[in-house]
Amino acid sequence: MALTGDDINALIRAQAPEAVKALIPPPCLVDMAGEFLEYEEGRRLVMRFPVLPRYRNPMGHMQGGFIVAALDNTLGPFSYLIAPPSVTTSLNTQYLRPASAADAFIVCEARLVERTRNVLHLHGEARNPAGKTVALCQSMNQILPSPGN
């Protein structure tokens, strides 16, 4: 059975502290109009983000900061589904090609590379509608002690 965005948000909300449940999905994800496409428990999360005119640089391409924000808005929920609570400690991005004004959206995929006792090693990719890679990233996320531990 495929999970919807509401299902994924409910999974995250169920693991979140009471004080932040009302902020799921977070405003930064809502503002970027991120849409959940696929989730394989503990393995990967795929999301789509529109390439909006307000995200474009003077050359008409999606500005790199918005590309990395889309990747972070995919990696963050994925890390929380795997190991709540966890926080990003590093996010390294390599850009391969622009997301142009002709691209209606980018698809971002987060995958688990390895989980240790205290750290998640994640891989992210952003692709254009033709399936060509726009950016790659590696993320390290520290797994925090659960509240009360």
Identify the structural domains of the chain with CATH numbers, from first to last.
5-143 (3.10.129.10)
Q: Is the pLDDT of residue 5 over 90?
A: no
Q: Is the pLDDT of residue 149 over 70?
A: no
- pLDDT for 74: 97
CA distances from 24 to 28, 39, 126 (A): 10, 17, 23
How far is it, in rounded angstroms, from Cα 70 to Cα 109?
Answer: 10
134 near 118, Cβ under 8 Å? no
Q: What's the pTM?
A: 0.93
Q: Over range 80-98, report the average pLDDT.
A: 95
Q: Which long-range contacts (CB under 8 A, 24 or more apart) does 128-133 make?
A: 128/97, 128/99, 128/100, 128/103, 129/103, 129/104, 129/105, 132/96, 132/97, 133/96, 133/97
Q: Over range 42-67, report the average pLDDT.
A: 97
